[in-house]
Amino acid sequence: MATELRTTGYTTTEYGAVSVLVGGERGAYPYCNSLLVRGATASLVIDPSLSLVASAPPADAVLVSHAHEDHVAGLGSYEVPVHVHNGDLGALRSRAAMVAASGLPADAADAVDAMMRDQFHVEGRPDAVGFEDGAVFDLGGRTVTAVHLPGHTAGHSGFLIEPDGFLLVADIDLTSFGPYYGDAGSSLVDFEASMRRCREIDARWYGTSHQKGVIEGATEFRRRLDAYVAVVGKREAALLAFLGEPRTVEEIVAHRLVYRPHVEGPHVRPVERRTAVQHLDRLMSEGLVAEVEEGRFRAR
């Protein structure tokens, strides 16, 4: 691994021929980590973040792991082909579609739209092109292969860069917050399947989009991934304990499975509701929770 190089807005660290452009505050939201990958004939940037707005490195193409504002804030610096999985293509092409995909209430939509426009420079890329799982981008002596990892969003994808052995897992970010599956198009079941898929991929380095940065070695990555997966189980255990007596969905939302009590914002209740409903559906299908009266649920 080479010495870190600092430029305006981000720090560059090399892993083979993969340059990780570490965003502000170690990639914590509203920033994220971007990648610059160079081959013999072409180069590409993955997830141009807010940190790239003032000093975007040149590239022949851009790949987007998923259509969230923190992963596309620097996209306006590039007049080159832009690619994203077909599951997120509509949201990348249109800011209105990206706002809608967040699933926030209608009375918050204008404020979220303004935030995406003014803070994250999101204008939509109607020229964006979709790809499917397994799509290969050949840079000349170096390939980037799309690995569809849905759940966070429908199109969320990682990228395997060879021959370097670098797997970007994007927002399977290994933070203590745990998996986020609270968007309108999110899926707990898909997220869990994606985490299992990541576990099966052998790589030298595993790159995350946020604070945890790059993890070296499959053994260490799997250890951290197991801890990340365990957050889902902790949420489920907390829900079962809360359902020791009959509760409504709204009571579960107020109790909170995802956010700490001090966190506020228009996103909190919708995310908590979608998370709670997904866990309730699974626990009911497993016979661990029953609807004891209309709209009220209790652990068995």
pLDDT above 80: residue 6:
no
pLDDT score of 1 = 40
Closest alpha carbon to 29 in 208, 271, 257, 227: 208
Say if pTM beats, i.e. exceeds, 0.75: yes
pLDDT above 60: residue 266:
yes
pLDDT score of 8 = 55
Report the percent of the chain where pLDDT is more than 70.
97
The distance in angstroms from the start CA to the end CA of the chain is 53
> Measured in whole angstroms, how far is the alpha carbon of residue 61 from the centre of its chain?
20
More confident residue, 139 or 8: 139
Tell me the C-alpha distance between 278 and 258, whole Å: 13
| Helix/strand number for the chain, H first, E second | 7, 16
Model confidence pLDDT, tens digit, residues 60-103: 999 999 999 999 999 999 999 999 999 999 999 999 999 999 99
Q: Beta partners for 161? A: 144, 166
pLDDT score of 107 = 87
pLDDT above 60: residue 104:
yes
Closest alpha carbon to 258 in 272, 245, 247, 239: 272
Model confidence pLDDT, tens digit, residues 19-50: 999 999 999 999 999 999 999 999 999 999 99
